[in-house]
Amino acid sequence: MTEAAHGGPTEGGHDAAAVDRGRDLAERTRAGERRALARLLTEVENRSRTAEAALRILYPLAGQAHLIGVTGAPGAGKSTLVAALVGEARKGSRAVAVLAIDPSSPITGGAILGDRVRMQAYAGDSDVFIRSMASRGHVGGLATSTVAAAAVLDAAGFPLVFIETVGTGQSEVEVAAIADTTLVVQAPEMGDEVQAIKAGLLEVADIVVVNKADRPGADRAASHLRSMLTVGAQHDRAMGDRPRPKRPEVLLASGASGQGVPEVLASLDRREAKRRAAGTSGEADGARLARAEAQVWGILAERLRGRVREPARAAETKVVLRAVADHELDPYAAADRLLAALTDR
């Protein structure tokens, strides 16, 4: 099948060169070249033709890694806990990758790297790869290219991939759509258990970790969470056949001291073993379908935006947008008009 059959242009030296670069980066990434992997992730973040060419090769090779989404409110200690889990995994000689989704700089659009400082202890470890990506204003705490980047790391041979989100509240539930396991980090004495309920985080969590377990109130927070989940389970049984939310395991840990971290990693491993044993049935298949949907809809939306902004349509698009700005046209009708223009042509 040609590149054109996939929906991308192949004519012209620029596109041909991008395809060649993508194939070269894919091959070198598979061979274990970390510099090539870093360059490819930059291309993925920029959603370039080079990245698309590489992903055509790498995506069929992915699907083996355990993708762990780490979410929770700001200040809960997500980065510290992830760093501790990386260290615990390395004790067993396991290769680990971390995708840390950071808020975007309002000036450059790049990632703000402050939280990555505490992970620099692994900078010289060839079996640990840490990458910060900018959210670029994307709601949900995840960069639009996160799923593609995770697939690249998967194909590169990392069996354990942590995806740490921005930490922006309710929109953090989006991580559940792309992760095999969702780990929600709570902090004691911050009222986080109540905020988690409001944000719907407990409904998507597979594991809840009350971090900073060495602080006063940690045991009480964990007990409170377990009690709420028990009451919720009883309520669900009384409601008949309606969809039931997950019943996450609640653990205590301290990323700073290492307390409870081995138990958290063991819990993650148990879930992964159960997921693999389930194969293509039930919940495991649902997670794969949700990830596929997130990827395809994201790419489709980007390509539709790109088409309406093409030079041949730019003037027409500008007229429609101006009509919406002047309240002469509602945004729904505007979207329908632009879509109709694309399909008519």
For the chain (345 residues), the mean pLDDT of every run of 10, in chain order, is: 39 77 96 95 92 95 93 85 95 94 53 55 85 64 75 96 75 75 83 56 84 84 79 48 65 92 96 83 70 82 88 92 95 93 77
Chain length of the chain: 345
Q: Are residues 208 and 95 in the same domain?
A: yes
User: What are residue 134's DSSP bridge partners?
Assistant: 102
Q: Are residues 115 and 167 in the same domain?
A: yes
Q: Are residues 94 and 27 in the same domain?
A: no
Do residues 37 and 24 make contact, with C-beta atoms less than 8 angstroms apart?
Answer: no
Tokens standing for 162? 């942590």
Do residues 221 and 227 make contact, with C-beta atoms less than 8 angstroms apart?
Answer: no
Cα–Cα distance, 272 to 288 (Å, whole number): 14
Q: Are residues 313 and 213 in the same domain?
A: no
User: What are residue 104's DSSP bridge partners?
Assistant: 111
Question: Residue 11: its pLDDT value, please?
Answer: 43
DSSP state of 216: T
Do residues 103 and 143 make contact, with C-beta atoms less than 8 angstroms apart?
Answer: no
Q: How many CA atoms are closer than 13 Å to the CA of 252, on its beta-carbon side? A: 16
For residue 108, what is the domain's CATH number? 3.40.50.300
Q: Pick from 213, 237, 210: which is nearest to 226 by CA? A: 210
Q: Strand 181-186's sheet: what is its strand order?
A: 128-134, 96-102, 160-164, 66-72, 181-186, 207-210, 249-252
User: What single-letter amino acid sits at 67?
Assistant: L
pLDDT in tens, 319-340: 999 999 999 999 999 999 999 9
Question: Residue 24: its pLDDT value, please?
Answer: 97
Q: Is 42 helix (H, G, I), strand (E, B) or coil?
A: helix
Cα–Cα distance, 151 to 37 (Å, whole number): 12
Structural domain includes residue 119 = yes
Question: Residue 122: its pLDDT value, please?
Answer: 78
Structural domain includes residue 125 = yes
Q: Are residues 140 and 165 in the same domain?
A: yes
Tokens standing for 5? 């059959």
Going by DSSP bridges, is the β-strand pair 128-134/207-210 parallel, antiparallel, or unpaired? unpaired
Q: Are residues 102 and 116 in the same domain?
A: yes
- Residue 50 has φ and ψ, to the nearest 5°, of -60, -45
Structural domain includes residue 302 = no
Q: Are residues 32 and 137 in the same domain?
A: no
Tokens standing for 306? 């790109």
CA distances from 40 to 6, 147, 174, 298 (A): 20, 14, 24, 19
* Domain termination site, one of 12, 45, 61: 61
Q: Are residues 92 and 206 in the same domain?
A: yes
Structural domain includes residue 112 = yes
Question: Residue 3: its pLDDT value, please?
Answer: 39
Tokens standing for 181? 């396991």
Q: Which domain holds residue 188?
A: 62-283
Cα–Cα distance, 235 to 127 (Å, whole number): 46
Tokens standing for 186? 């709570």
Q: Are residues 270 and 317 in the same domain?
A: no
Structural domain includes residue 301 = no
Question: Residue 143: its pLDDT value, please?
Answer: 56
Q: In the chain, how many domains are there?
A: 3
Q: Are residues 110 and 222 in the same domain?
A: yes
* Domain termination site, one of 61, 76, 97: 61
Q: Are residues 106 and 203 in the same domain?
A: yes
Structural domain includes residue 298 = no
Q: Are residues 57 and 71 in the same domain?
A: no
Q: Provide the greatest CA pair distance for the chain.
A: 65
Query: 């489709």: which residue's tokens?
Result: 300
Question: Residue 69: its pLDDT value, please?
Answer: 92
Question: Residue 245: its pLDDT value, please?
Answer: 54
Structural domain includes residue 304 = no
Structural domain includes residue 289 = no
Mark out the alpha helices in 115-205 (DSSP H runs): 146-155, 192-199, 201-204
* Domain termination site, one of 267, 283, 299: 283
